Amino acid sequence: MVDLSLSKPSEIVKRICERLRTDRLALEMTQADVSERAGIGTNTVSNLEAGRNVGFENLVRAAMVLGRSKELENLFLPKLETLDDILRYENSAKRYRIKRKSDNA
C-alpha cells in the first residue's frame, strides 16, 4: 500500500482514477456498463478515469457500481484513540445555536 500523505492532490486523484479504471476492467465492464448502472453519462465515466472533471457524487456513484462502498464508508472516520477523543467527538455532534446579538447591546 502506498502512503499518500506525501502526495499532491493531483497525484491522489490520478491514482484513484487509475484504480477506478483497473477495477472496471477487472470486472469486465465497459464504460457504458458503468455509466448505465451509475446513472451517469459514458463521457463522465471516461472523464473520471482520465482525472478530468471529477465530481465527487459521480465518483461515488461509479465506486458503488464497482463494489467499493466499503471503502467509501471508511472515508473520514473519526480518530478516536483516547476517551477524551470520544467525548470531544460526541459533544461535537450535538447541535448548538449561536445566540443573536440584541440591538441594545
Query: What does the domain layout of the chain look like in residue ranges?
Result: 4-76
Tens digits of residue pLDDT in 27-84: 999 999 999 999 999 999 999 999 987 788 999 999 999 999 998 888 888 888 898 8
Measured in whole angstroms, the distance separating CA 58 from the mean position of its chain's CA atoms is 10
CATH number belonging to domain 4-76? 1.10.260.40
C-alpha cell at 10: 493531483
Four-CA torsion 51, 17, 64, 32, nearest 10 degrees: 70
pTM over 0.75: no
Residue 25 burial by Cβ neighbours in a 10 Å radius (0-12, 13-18, 19+): exposed
What is the distance between the alpha carbons of residues 101 and 63, in angstroms, rounded to a whole number? 46
